[in-house]
Amino acid sequence: MNIITEYPLWMIIFCVFAGVAYAAILYYKNKHNDFSPLLIRTMAFLRFIAIFLIAFLLLSPLLKTITHTNEKPIIIFAQDNSQSVLLNKDSAFYKTEYKEKIEKLIDELGKKYDVKSFNFDDKVREQLQFEYNGKQTDISALLDEMLTRYTNRNIGAIILASDGIFNKGNNPLYVSSKLNAPLYTLALGDTSVRKDLLIQKINFNRIAYLGNSFPVEIIVNANKAKGLSAKLKITHANKEIFNKTIQFNSDQYIETINFTTLAKEAGLQRYTVTISSVNNEITLTNNRKDFFVEVLDTRQKVLILAAAPHPDISAIKQTLESNRNYDVQFALINDFNKPISDLNLIILHQLPSANFAITKILSDIQKSNIPILYILGTQSNITQFNAYNSGLNILAKNQNFNEALPFFLTEFSYFTLSDESRKMLNNFPPLSTIYGNYKLAPSVEPFLMQKIGNVVSNQPLILFNQSVGNKNGVITGEGLWKWKLANYAQKNNTEAFDEIISKIIQYLTVKIEKGLFRVMNNHSFNENENIEFDAELYNDSYELVNQADVNLLIINSAGNKFPYEFSKTSNAYHLNAGIFPQGDYKYQAVVKLKNKTLTKNGEFTVMAMDAEYTNTVANHQLLYNLAKNNGGEMIYPSQTEKIADLLQKRDDIKTVQYTQKRFNDLVNLSWIFFIIITLLTAEWFLRKRNGGY
């Protein structure tokens, strides 16, 4: 410890001079006091020291301290806690004798080193357990965690006790190259191949559409089963939908089985793949796998309602009927008397017209919030059309018509067109559009503009209008059938026309969530994943609010109920319900908004994790490479005592001394202040006690 200043040390002379001068002027030049010589010298000394210290602090002195800290070498011991460790004939050894060996080793190492113990499977935990219940193994995550925690620390060695099987994360060999410490591996598990049939992997589409077929690929492995056979079957809703007998003609047998099935029911569908067992299998857990497919019912109901027959209707109807996702109905307005509440889109061809005002139908459409596609033409009643909130208002004194070519707007953002379709638009013939002054609402997004001759006008040919909770489209002219014929004449197909019409219909039929209360969650989770939900609540002005409390009730297949309450975020809600066991669950979310109670119901499935049973053969080669590449050795459990000797023989595992320098401003030290106050107080007391003023 020493004191340094920002100024040359010789300037301390001025501090001494200031103290001497102040004391001398106060006590030796003043001849009017009756103090004794001893008292004068004492008070002068006190004043000198106080002034000297005050002046010295003006030099900005720093107190420099040097501390030395010794750090023992850190020995990191990481124990694999995954299920695969016990998949061998020595499983009892790892629960009893092995545990005692490791605890003894850690006690011995703790006498000389600072031992840090960890458990790992798919996560890293700062504790030592021998439960072997981890569903996945991520060795790279362990090594990354050690690098993060102990960077620039005195790591003596890392001891990794594992069977070398990893089924999550990166290859640990890549991460281990960053380690700055020797790595010793304790080789657990069994490298011998034992009799086992397993479903190694299932490849499938997670989403399918109702009424469509979808493929499934199953990879089956068999170890030490040459000459035997087993039956593979797939079940859905307790019904067998596929089976096959497999003959194993080698001890290392692998086969890929493909099948196709039809999505007959909407919702989350569970399929179970099982393979029958043979005698003396090491485990039966990997003989079964479930997979889930979300079947979407996207078959949209589209009604084409027309004032009279027209070739445009046929062109649109043929395009939509070629897509299995659309259920297309056609009706003339004077014959139509069906309910419309279950429709996803209504195409009004030249309606309202001079003869059909369709006031009631339009009122019903607006009440049901059904999207509308207006197609205007010679029979359209523009005055009545303007009365409905389509986003377009046409001011026309006389109903005259223009021949307008299509011009694509590159800034259009609602959907995209292929380059081929964009090129074809330039070759399409004109539509017959209504001549007039077009006024657009701010919510309108034009798709195609009218091109009159070589001039692109500011009037739309096709436009979309989307407001809160509803949307519609307007085609301002007739003659779409000519586009289809032109497409076929030039390309011998109608792909461009079909794409344009399909994209228009697809955009309009995509549902807008209209509810004031929404709950979002995944339909399936792994059994080691947290079950999480998000929720949103809207007021009548469709603004996000979260003042009210949202409660959630989860119900398992046995009828047990688990209540939760959502946490509030900045303007929404979130819930982490934690980990649930394998099974099917239903939930109900409830919130009160003013005088209304809003509810949302749903379901989810927790799937079993069997990654640890897919590979039952220990990978000691990986452990050997990890140790060799990082200056360590691979050791077997029977040689556990050897680890302490190996570490003690290393010259690079030593106690490290750290030196730390610190600088503190003396003016910030409280004890300096109290010394000065004490000196001045003592002087004042002596002066007053002896009659000084």
Closest CA to 134 of 83, 77, 95: 83
Selected residue with higher pLDDT from 33 and 388? 388
> 569 pLDDT exceeds 70?
yes
pLDDT band at 608 (very low <50, low <70, confident <90, very high): confident
| pTM for the structure as a whole | 0.57
pLDDT band at 73 (very low <50, low <70, confident <90, very high): very high
Q: What is the CATH number of domain 73-191+617-654?
A: 3.40.50.410
Torsion of CA 178, 179, 180, 183, to 10 degrees: -150
H/E segment holding residue 444: strand 444-452
Cβ of 525: how many Cβ atoms within 10 Å? 19
Q: What is the DSSP string of 124-179?
A: EESS------BS---HHHHHHHHHHHSTTS-EEEEEEEE-S---SSS-HHHHHTT-
Maximum mean pLDDT: which of 27-31, 51-55, 269-273, 480-484: 480-484
Determine the Cα–Cα distance for residues 477 and 472; give it in Å rounded to an integer.
16
Give the number of C-alpha atoms closer than 13 A to the C-alpha of residue 441, restricted to the C-beta side.
Answer: 18
Strands of 596-607's sheet, edge to edge?
A: 524-526, 596-607, 583-593, 550-556, 561-565
Cβ of 247: how many Cβ atoms within 10 Å? 13
What is the reported pLDDT for 19?
85
> 324 pLDDT exceeds 80?
no
What is the reported pLDDT for 40?
80
CB 473 within 8 A of CB 464: yes
pLDDT band at 414 (very low <50, low <70, confident <90, very high): confident
Determine the Cα–Cα distance for residues 343 and 681; give it in Å rounded to an integer.
95
What is the reported pLDDT for 194?
86
Place of tokens 């990082």: 630
Cβ of 161: how many Cβ atoms within 10 Å? 24
- Residues forming a β-bridge with 658: 69
Helix residue spans in 28-96 (DSSP H): 37-57, 91-95
> 550 pLDDT exceeds 70?
yes
Selected residue with higher pLDDT from 61 and 78? 78
- Residues forming a β-bridge with 209: 296
CB 63 within 8 A of CB 35: no
As a whole number, mean pLDDT of residues 507-518 equals 77
* Structure tokens that stand for 228 in this block: 């035997």
Determine the Cα–Cα distance for residues 461 and 693; give it in Å rounded to an integer.
102
Determine the Cα–Cα distance for residues 229 and 238; give it in Å rounded to an integer.
24
The strand ranges marked E within 513-666 are: 517-520, 524-526, 532-538, 544-545, 550-556, 561-565, 567-568, 573-576, 583-593, 596-607, 634-635, 656-665
Place of tokens 């019903």: 364
3-state SS record for 635-690: ECHHHCCHHHHHHHHCCCCCCEEEEEEEEEEHHHCHHHHHHHHHHHHHHHHHHHHC
CB 204 within 8 A of CB 223: no
CB 138 within 8 A of CB 82: no
What is the reported pLDDT for 232?
95
Mean pLDDT rounded to a whole number for the chain: 89
H/E segment holding residue 123: none
Which residue ranges does the chain devote to CATH 2.60.40.10?
Answer: 196-296
What is the reported pLDDT for 693?
55
CB 679 within 8 A of CB 50: yes
Which residue ranges does the chain devote to CATH 2.60.40.1930?
Answer: 517-607
* Structure tokens that stand for 441 in this block: 């609402």
What is the reported pLDDT for 162?
95
How buried is residue 464: exposed, middle or buried, by Cβ count under 10 Å (0-12/13-18/19+)? buried
Alpha-carbon Rg for the chain in angstroms? 42
From 110-114, 192-196, 456-460, 597-601, the region with the lowest mean pLDDT: 192-196
Determine the Cα–Cα distance for residues 204 and 513; give it in Å rounded to an integer.
29
CB 632 within 8 A of CB 623: no
> 32 pLDDT exceeds 70?
no
The tens digit of pLDDT for each residue in 152-172 reads 889 999 999 999 999 888 899
Selected residue with higher pLDDT from 568 and 542? 568
What is the reported pLDDT for 230?
95
What is the reported pLDDT for 512?
61
Which residue ranges does the chain devote to CATH 3.40.50.410?
Answer: 73-191+617-654
* Structure tokens that stand for 621 in this block: 């080669």
CB 176 within 8 A of CB 627: no
What is the reported pLDDT for 643?
93
From 215-219, 304-308, 447-451, 510-514, the region with the lowest mean pLDDT: 510-514
As a whole number, mean pLDDT of residues 547-559 equals 94
As a whole number, mean pLDDT of residues 312-322 equals 93
What is the reported pLDDT for 692?
63
CB 193 within 8 A of CB 617: yes
> 578 pLDDT exceeds 90?
yes
pLDDT band at 38 (very low <50, low <70, confident <90, very high): confident
pLDDT band at 192 (very low <50, low <70, confident <90, very high): confident
Give the number of C-alpha atoms closer than 13 A to the C-alpha of residue 133, restricted to the C-beta side.
Answer: 5
From 122-136, 208-222, 235-249, 659-673, the region with the lowest mean pLDDT: 659-673
What is the reported pLDDT for 469?
61
pLDDT band at 78 (very low <50, low <70, confident <90, very high): very high
> 448 pLDDT exceeds 60?
yes
Pick the CATH number of 517-607 from 2.70.98.30, 3.40.50.300, 2.60.40.10, 2.60.40.1930: 2.60.40.1930
Determine the Cα–Cα distance for residues 253 and 246; give it in Å rounded to an integer.
10
Largest distance between two CA atoms of the chain: 130
Determine the Cα–Cα distance for residues 139 and 186; give it in Å rounded to an integer.
14
What is the reported pLDDT for 621?
94
From 216-225, 365-374, 545-554, 664-673, the region with the lowest mean pLDDT: 664-673
* Structure tokens that stand for 612 in this block: 């640890």
Determine the Cα–Cα distance for residues 53 and 8; give it in Å rounded to an integer.
16
As a whole number, mean pLDDT of residues 490-517 equals 86
Q: Does domain 303-509 have CATH number 3.40.50?
A: yes
Determine the Cα–Cα distance for residues 26 and 630; give it in Å rounded to an integer.
76
The tens digit of pLDDT for each residue in 261-306 reads 998 888 888 899 999 999 988 888 889 998 888 887 767 889 999 9
Selected residue with higher pLDDT from 194 and 693? 194
The tens digit of pLDDT for each residue in 217-258 reads 999 999 999 999 999 999 998 899 999 999 999 999 999 999
* Structure tokens that stand for 257 in this block: 């089985």
Q: Does domain 196-296 have CATH number 3.40.190.10?
A: no
Determine the Cα–Cα distance for residues 132 and 125; give it in Å rounded to an integer.
13
What is the reported pLDDT for 403?
94
> 468 pLDDT exceeds 60?
no
> 367 pLDDT exceeds 70?
yes
> 456 pLDDT exceeds 90?
yes
What is the reported pLDDT for 479?
95
